[in-house]
Chain A
Amino acid sequence: MTDNQPIAVKAEGLHKRFVTTEEEVHAVNDVSFEICAGDFVALHGPSGCGKSTLLLMTGALLSPDEGVIEIAGKNPYELKAEGRAAFRAEHVGFVFQQFHLIPYLNVLDNVLIGDLANRSSGGESNGDRARELLEKFNIGHRLHHVPSKLSIGEQQRVALARALLHSPELVLADEPTGNLDPENSEIILQHLADFADDGGAVIMVTHDDRAKAAAKSAMHLDGGEMISSDQQGEKKEGQGE
């Protein structure tokens, strides 16, 4: 199904080491993968195995010590910091476990905050896009409420809308359902799946079996190394049918 789709992210021989005062942590050790448009990949493994580190590297936020990453055919680490920021604004959306909504902005402004990064796009059309997304996520009636007035599930949906505002090729989600009840988890997972179905690529760090099941494929990380990868989707598709 995804074989003939364009490659969204390609990683080759990624290494990341953190040197602390006492020891060196090899957080990511020679990891390679390829994710195509339409893929929805669950990234799992024990705590401290390097999932978040890999996700940050994939999101053009943390440069690898070795190896190459290409997003939409471009290596963001060839860009300078500001260029990389603009690159992220254009190609990558982030969703966090703690949502990280801006407490003093209302729902609509929280979604539109991406406009600060991407000011080339006209404000009006983004306003429409934001409303459309929030409508779709069933929080269209809460546009002018601040995050603290929303339920946990609603907050994560706002965060998802924020990630999708500029229609990125890639969405990176670090435990997006970690704070949610099953019902709200289901909604978020469904929206991520919808995004992938519409041609986006999703990498989702998760411990949650239900979330793993919602993804089309999985990558298993342990001790910084890729233990197994079925991101081509055969397993899921096989299981699904």
Chain B
Amino acid sequence: MNLRRLVMREIFHRKTNFFLALLGAALAIVCVLATLAAMRSFELNSDALIAKMEADTQKEMKQLEDDIRKTMKGLGFNIYIFPKDQDMSEVYDQGYASKTMPEEYATILANSKIVTVNHLLPSLTQKLEWPEKKRNVILIGVRGEVPLAHRDPKSPLIDPVKKGELVLGYELHRSLGLKLGDELMFKGKSFKLSKAYQERGSKDDITIWMNLTECQELLGKKGLINAIQALECNCATLDRLGEIRAELMQILPNTQITETGSTALARAESRTKAKATAQKQIATAKQHRKQASAERERFAGVLLPIVLLFAMAWIAMLAFMNVRERVTEIGVLRAIGVSSKIILTAFLSRAVVAGLLGASLGAVFFAVIYPLLKERFFHGITLGEVISVSECAWLLLAAPFLAAVSAWLPSLMAAQKDPADVLRYD
């Protein structure tokens, strides 16, 4: 005869009481596991959603950047190089620069090893009155493309204007009724109209193109230009203007550059905007997730102690009933010399067994039903991901401990029963 046997026999004898205690432990553990699983699966799920959002955004951004890079490469982009002391507001105001720089800047640039700029077009521009025709025109002196020293000669982008010839914008030749080959006088010099442009709907329509050298002579600005236009620049990086500026400043420190509007630029801007929007969305999602997690944690922080308290009170009550039922038995055991320590152990063991067995059954039950509820309540996340084996082991250890704590008072009462009080009424 030993204590284990006594405890086991008693458990089998008073099945209902034991089963109810076991049920309490099982329900408590199921509640704890379900709460943990719900919280964890929610967190894992929202983490995954955010991660996916971030990955998608990143992918989209990368795609966009690639696209833009390609477009930019294909399109190229145009820059203007102006004298350093040129006031840019004046350029934006009147459409061209008034300050001048040496024409040889174009040659210096062309002879440098700079790879980002192409098609260098020096020009001299001035608004003036066409004295012979009494009209305000924009006179541009061009010399065609300056060949780049280190590249294969490319087909010139803009045909130069030959000496003694003029090219007129649409409005000029239309209103004056001029046709190709007509002899024209400009500032007392005779030119032949070599080209008449179609309507462009811009200031080009009142522009006269002239050979640069002749233009310089006419305006008394020999060897000077206002601007160098560089067309179809290539640049792999997105901060292309910065890159070009850095390169250019080393070669031509007395200049400044500006980019003229382009499709590529607009796309780059929209990309930046899209990225900012996506990042804001991700930040909002993260914030929501944080708030929701905190809310759930608060809820669990209230729910779990209540569940535990109920389970413990339940087990304590059942233990108390068990003690009441066994008063005579306790008296007899004490009378024949069984120590109060053994009585205490007997009652505590009962609670411990109920706690351990109940928790184990609860855990097994939860593991069995989890797959059925997974999709509906736990975001389809597997049990192994939300509850670790060691956590489960801790819970299974804690359950008998808490059961023993719950049954402590009734067990102590049992152990301290005075056998004389019990047996006196025999």
Contact = CB atoms under 8 A, between A and B. Distances in A.
A103 B338 contact: no
Nearest to B419: A61
Contacts of B3: 116
A96 B426 contact: yes
Contacts of B2: 115-116, 123
A53 B420 CA distance: 9
A84 to B, nearest CB: 9
B336 A105 contact: no
Interface residues of A, number: 39
Contacts of A61: 335, 419-420, 423
Interface string A116-131: 1110000100100000
Given A52-B426, A82-B339, A104-B10, A113 B420 contact: no
Interface string A52-91: 1100100101100000000000000000011001111110
A229 interface: no
A104 B12 contact: yes
B338 A85 contact: yes
A92 B331 CA distance: 15
A117 B426 contact: no
Contacts of B424: 52-53, 56
A100 B337 contact: no
Contact of B335 (A53, A88, A98, A112): A88
Contacts of B9: 104-105, 109
Given A102-B332, A109-B1, A116 B13 contact: no
Interface centre among A61, A87, A88, A115 (most CB of B within 10 A): A61
B334 interface: yes
Contacts of A98: 328, 426
A130 B220 CA distance: 139
B329 interface: yes
B342 interface: yes
B290 interface: no
A82 B341 CA distance: 9
Interface in B1-42: 1-3, 5-6, 9-10, 12-14
B311 to A, nearest CB: 26
B356 to A, nearest CB: 21
A94 interface: yes
B274 interface: no
Given A103-B13, A109-B5, A87 B337 contact: yes
Interface centre among B12, B333, B337, B426 (most CB of A within 10 A): B337
A154 interface: no
Contacts of B118: none
B340 interface: yes
A93 B90 CA distance: 123
Contact of A116 (B335, B342, B419): B342
B238 to A, nearest CB: 85
A174 interface: yes
Nearest to A27: B424
A184 interface: no
Contact of B338 (A53, A112, A116): A116
B343 to A, nearest CB: 9
Contacts of B423: 56, 61, 94, 96, 174
Contacts of A89: 336-338
Contacts of A32: none
A39 B3 CA distance: 35
Contacts of A117: 333, 336-339, 342
Nearest to B343: A116
Contact of A114 (B10, B329, B337, B419): B337
A86 to B, nearest CB: 6
B342 A59 contact: no
B329 A116 contact: no
Interface centre among A87, A115, A126, A175 (most CB of B within 10 A): A115
B363 to A, nearest CB: 29
A59 B336 CA distance: 10
A2 interface: no
A162 interface: yes
Interface centre among B3, B13, B328, B426 (most CB of A within 10 A): B426
Nearest to A97: B426
A5 to B, nearest CB: 25
A85 B329 contact: no
B336 to A, nearest CB: 5
Interface string A39-57: 0000000000000110010
Given A104-B9, A113-B1, A81 B337 contact: no
B420 A90 contact: no
A113 B336 contact: yes
Interface in A183-230: none
Nearest to A175: B426
B332 A100 contact: yes
Interface of A: 52-53, 56, 59, 61-62, 81-82, 85-90, 92-94, 96-98, 100, 102-105, 109, 112-118, 123, 126, 162-163, 174-175
10 contacts: A52-B426, A86-B337, A94-B335, A100-B329, A100-B332, A104-B12, A104-B13, A113-B6, A116-B333, A117-B333
Pairs A-B, 5 closest by C-beta atoms:
A89-B337, A104-B13, A117-B337, A112-B1, A62-B420
Given A82-B339, A87-B337, A104-B13, 13 more contacts: A82-B341, A85-B339, A88-B335, A89-B338, A94-B423, A98-B328, A100-B332, A100-B426, A104-B10, A113-B6, A113-B338, A116-B3, A174-B426
